[in-house]
Amino acid sequence: MKKILVTGGAGYIGTHTCVELLNRGYEIVVLDNFSNSKESALENVKKITGKDFKFYNVDMIDKKALDTIFDENDIEAVIDFAAYKAVGESVEKPVEYYTNNVSTVLNLLDRMKAHNVKKIVFSSSATVYGDPKVVPITEESPTGGTTNPYGTSKYMVEQILKDLYKSDNTWDIAILRYFNPIGAHESGLIGEAPNSIPANLMPYIVKVASGKLEKLSVFGNDYNTKDGTGVRDYIHVVDLAVGHIKAIEKLNKEGKGLFIYNLGTGKGYSVLDIVNTFEKVNNIKVNYTIAPRRKGDIATCFADPEKARKEIGFEAKKTLEDMCRDSWNFEKNIN
Ligand code: UD1
Tell me if the pTM is above 0.95.
Answer: yes
Q: What percent of the chain has pLDDT over 70?
A: 100
Q: Between the CA atoms of 242, 234, 324 and 8, what dihedral angle is there, to the nearest 10 degrees?
A: 50
Return the residue whose CA atom lies nearest to atom 5 of ligand 1.
Answer: 180
Q: Using CA atoms, how far apart are residues 234 and 38, in angstroms rounded to an integer?
A: 25
Q: pLDDT averaged over the chain?
A: 97
pLDDT(254) > 80:
no
CA-to-CA distance for 93 and 86, rounded, in angstroms?
A: 10
CA gap 41, 190 in Å, rounded: 6
Q: Find out whether the beta carbon of 132 lies less than 6 Å from any atom of ligand 1.
A: no
Compute the distance from residue 296 Cα to the ligand 1 centre, in Å: 10
Residue closest by Cα to atom 29 of ligand 1: 201
- Which ligand 1 atom is nearest residue 182's CA? 34
pLDDT tops 80 at residue 102 = yes
Does the CA dihedral 203-209-211-213 come out positive or negative?
positive
Residue 256: which pLDDT band, with cuts at 50, 70 and 90? Answer: confident
Q: Tell whether omega for the bond before 94 is within 30 degrees of 0, i.e. cis.
A: no
Closest CA to 175 of 293, 289, 9, 312: 312
Q: Which helix (H) or strand (E) holds 301?
A: strand 300-301
Each residue of 289-302: pLDDT tens digit?
Answer: 999 999 889 999 99
221 lines ligand 1 (CB under 6 A): no
pLDDT of residue 200: 96
Q: Is 279 exposed, middle or buried (0-12, 13-18, 19+ CB in 10 A)?
A: middle
Q: Is 59 in the pocket of ligand 1 (CB under 6 A)?
A: no
Ligand 1, pocket-test mutation among 157, 215, 219, 237, most atoms within 8 A of CB: 219
pLDDT digits (tens, 9 = 90+) for 136-183: 999 999 999 998 999 999 999 999 999 999 999 999 999 999 999 999
Cβ of 225 below 6 Å from ligand 1: no
**Which atom of ligand 1 is nearest to 198's Cα?**
23
pLDDT at 15: 98
Average pLDDT over residues 15-22: 98
Confidence of residue 53 (pLDDT cuts 50, 70, 90): very high
* Count of CA atoms in the C-beta half-sphere (13 A) of 23: 14
